Structure 1
Amino acid sequence: MPPSGLVAVLASLPGVSAGLLEALRRAAVASGAVHCALVGGTVRDLLLHRSGLVPWSGVPDLDLVVEGDLQALVGCLADQLEPQRLSRSQWHDSFGTVSLTLDGISLDLARARQESYPAPAENPVVRPGTLASDLVRRDFSINAMALDLISDVLIDPHGGQAALQARSLVFLHAASVADDPTRVIRAARYSARLGLDLSADSRTQLATTLSSWPWPAWNGGGVVPPALSTRLRMELDRLLNHEPWGEAFDRLSCWGAMPLVDEGLQLDPRRRRRLRRAQRLGLPLMPAWLAAASQPLVVAQRLQIPGQQQRWLAGLETLQRWLQDDAPPASASPSVWTQALEQGDWPAQSVALLICLNHPHWRMLWRWWARWRTVQSPVTAKELMAAGWTAGPELGGELRRRRFQCLDLR
């Protein structure tokens, strides 16, 4: 296969120097490696940029797969370079990887691997392999390409270039979703960021897998594989924190994929409005999104989101019941609403989540959240004590009385 010329193209772009790529090539050759290849997003984004489909955004780090002796390659690299160029070298023996900083660029080098899934959604069993077996571990054809620095050959065994030209996301094999359902969340992330869509065959695979997956048992309280829960939460965190989440969630809904998390999230017409309101209120997006689930707390526990956010969702359920059964009338004074809300067994953030859900009482809740809860007594405890009050419950009651009086005069 003739050289692709892509190494030179990459070296000409901001963020990667020709010297860095040449140093890696020389060390790979000296160590006797069969392949030392760039993989993943860098190769994909380089091809998209070369085709004029997306602008080049730089590379925060580079991922490489080595088919050969990784330790020998790193040793050759250290022998060839001045110490200031190779400023960090950290081995992760259990994963067969090493993290380097070369010329100020972060590199992650991994031995070529192969993997198998002992059961659907469990963590895979990983063994040494070839570059070809490493690429087949990937999620989509567009991420299963490699640019070999030794030969400057683009290795594309799964049609990644054609999928990019078709603006398509294609799962690598028929069990991709069953092996790792979090690939669906990743598909939504790439789709939103790069303007791609699932191919027809990939949509069929998604629908077939979801229809046969044992979600109902898990929704009823059965045990979800811990590995799946952790990976789902991580992918969702990336989607919410680093991607155009509105577009990504729209894609998941269009694909009928929301039952991957919870069926109640599939029909969620107020999703964008709710999450934008959460942003304005300073809330994390994850609990605001899950607030519309059929069982928000159950889903939050399944995904293992932070305990504090689980408490907000637990308080949300309590608050909703209270508003239905025992809340003051809408005509009640600010002090009555404030006292009732602040005596409740729920965090303040539960009130904010209910505002995001556009509850019928949301205006009253909004007034408490935005104004009433910050109002203090016009006199301080120190001033009252100077006037003859003594510390104790009576002093606290007088401070509350004056605070509520101030609220009702506003």
Structure 2
Amino acid sequence: MDHLTNRLEPPLQHILACAAALAATVDATLWLVGGVVRDLLLELPIGRDIDLAVEGDVTRLAPLLATTLGGTITARHPAFGTATLAVDHWIIDLAQTRTEYYPQPAVLPVVQPAPLTTDLARRDFSINAMAIRLVADDGRLLPMPLFDPLNGAVDLAARRLRLLHDRSLRDDPTRILRGVRLAARLNLTPEPATAAQIETALTNGYLALLTPERIQTELCLTLSEPDPAAVVALADRWQVTSHIIPGLHWSSALAERLARYRHDEAGIAGLAPAEPVIAGLLLYDLSEDDLQAVRQRYHLPTPFRRLLIELSRLRSLAQSITTTLSPSQLDALLHSYSTATIAVLHYAATTSTASLIARYLREWRPLRPPLTGDDLQAMGVAPGPQLGRLLRDLRAATLDGTVTDRVTAERWVYQQLAAARS
């Protein structure tokens, strides 16, 4: 346990050693804190987000680190003593150790500098309240002991989720959603006092006090979990889902859809961004009213908003997609929908339909006719409705194999023009 930082990648060890040495020059002390320490104890892979607690002046240290490490300051919040640096592919969050006071439930806190021990005690769960001091010598991190005044390592070994104080969920109800994610990912069980606090917070409607933006941030983090279905299943058991997305519940069908996505036997996952597709798979069974409620409640980015709108329409077309359709007929049904929405339908469909949609996404949707609009104009087709119609029909003929190359495409166009004149 004294040598946890040895498990970090050597390039990250080098960055943290440089950071520790630089911090010492401005009378600051750096601590590795939070999820990285927890995951080092569990011997899990370390992500790109690195949390550092700073006993010292973050506003003075951040620009020094950025300049020396060749990084970029991507955010800074002097009122909270925080700054974010991008260094290589890591995102390093610096936060001055602090105490905090929440004047009302679910609002941002008032903060003041404080020692590390106080800072750890104001955090959410004991397993996130462990730290390792970063000390460097000759460009290398020295092995330092785990600092664990709140017994997070004991809780972690027992797979126990424990809140650190009795006002925790009143102060910040997003901790309920964070707790669900952690418990699902790490197979944790809330200890009795924590379970009681969660039940009380839900009964008192604390989640409804949060802005939609704060809940949406937590939902986006759920989309990037290794097993979002497990998060939904646990949120259902904790009776959380109705507070954030009415109509969303775990089901075996939901789990099967997400399992198909994870296994991705047809190789479709790489064709669309993961987050909208996973969101669509989670929300696939919602009623039209519930989908509309999601769109109204949350300020969704355009790809998510488009997906929810399209999902309502595309689900109604699912029964029309059969193996008897020609490629052009299938394209006529699907070409106006985003790739993400069609991918959702693929993972939600029956085996035969899923295979057809997969072929459409891989082979037919990207297919382009041998001739462009410019080519058709060079052949004497004037801009206008006829040109648009010929391009559409030429695509259909290409999809169905009637047109296979430029020669057959030109012959096909001349035939169409002759037929139109006769």
Which residue number in structure 1 is paired with residue 346 of structure 2? 355
- TM-score when normalising by structure 1: 0.69
2:164 paired residue number? 172
Query: Which structure 2 residues correspond to residues 1-400 of structure 1 after superposition, within 5 A?
Result: 6=2, 10=5, 14=10, 15-16=12-13, 23=21, 31=27, 37-46=31-40, 48=41, 53-54=42-43, 57=46, 61-66=50-55, 70=57, 92-97=77-82, 108-147=93-132, 156-213=148-205, 225-226=210-211, 229-241=212-224, 243-275=226-258, 276=261, 279=269, 281-286=271-276, 287-288=279-280, 289-294=282-287, 295-320=290-315, 334-342=327-335, 347=338, 349-358=340-349, 362=353, 368-377=360-369, 380-381=372-373, 384-385=376-377, 388-400=380-392
Cα distance, 1:138 vs structure 2: 0.9
Output the amino acid matched with 1:199. Answer: E
**Is contact 1:189–1:243 with CA below 8 Å preserved after alignment?**
no
- Once the two structures are TM-superposed, the CA of residue 135 in structure 1 deviates from its matched residue by 2.1
SS in 2 for 1:110: strand
| Shift in CA distance, 260/16, structure 1 to aligned 2, threshold 3 Å | farther
C-alpha deviation, 1:167, in angstroms: 1.8
Task: Kindly indicate whether the alpha-carbon contact (under 8 Å) linking 1:140 and 1:172 is maintained by their aligned counterparts in 2.
Answer: yes
Q: Deviations over 1:26-57 (max 9, x none)?
A: 558xx5x8x865432344345x2xxxx42675
**Which secondary structure state, in structure 2, belongs to the residue aligned with residue 121 of structure 1?**
coil
Q: CA deviation at 1:96?
A: 1.7
Asked if structure 2 preserves the Cα contact closer than 8 Å seen for 1:99 and 1:106, the reply is: yes
Q: What letter matches 1:339 in structure 2?
A: A
1:131-176 CA-partner distances (Å, limit 9, x unpaired): 44422321101122345679x7865443323212212121223343
Structure 2 unmatched ranges of 5 or more: 136-143, 403-422
Change (3 A) 1:166 1:71: closer
Q: Secondary structure at the match of 2:382?
A: coil
Is 2:173–2:210's contact at 8 Å kept on the other side of the alignment?
Answer: no
Letter of the 1:234 counterpart: T
Change in Cα spacing, 1:241 to 1:387, as seen in structure 2 (3 Å) is: same
Q: In structure 1, what is the Cα distance between the partners aligned to 2:321 and 2:69? A: 67
Q: Distance in 1 between matches of 2:387 and 2:23?
A: 77
Deviation at 1:313, TM superposition (A): 1.0
How many residue pairs match? The answer is 376
Kindly tell me: are residues 387 and 161 of structure 1, through their superposed partners in 2, closer, same or farther at Cα, counting changes over 3 Å?
Answer: closer
Distance 1:186 1:384, change over 3 A: same
Deviation at 1:274, TM superposition (A): 2.7
Separation in structure 1 between the aligned mates of residue 115 and residue 191 of structure 2, nearest angstrom: 28
Q: Distance in 1 between matches of 2:228 and 2:119?
A: 30
Equivalent-residue separation in structure 2 for 1:407 and 1:118 (angstroms)? 64
Task: Output the amino acid matched with 2:393.
Answer: R
Identity rate of aligned residues, in percent?
Answer: 32
Q: 1:301 to 1:123 in 2, by over 3 A?
A: farther
Distance change in 2, residues 1:261/1:357 (3 Å): farther
Secondary structure of the residue aligned to 1:265 is: coil
Tell me the SS of whatever aligns to 2:111. strand
Distance 1:100 1:348 in 2: 34
Cα–Cα, structure 1 residues 358 and 178, in superposed 2: closer, same or farther, change >3 Å? farther
Task: Give me the CA root mean square deviation.
Answer: 4.7
Q: How far apart are 1:62 and its partner, in Å?
A: 5.0
Task: Check the 8 A contact 2:59/2:81 in 1, yes or no.
Answer: no
Deviation for aligned residue 1:178: 3.9
Q: What is the TM-score normalised by the length of structure 2?
A: 0.67
SS in 1 for 2:224: helix
Q: Gapped runs of 5+ residues in structure 1?
A: 219-223
Residue aligning to 2:415: none
What is the match of residue 407 of structure 2?
A: none
Equivalent AA in structure 2 for residue 269 of structure 1: S
Contact 2:54 2:94 in 1 (8 A): yes
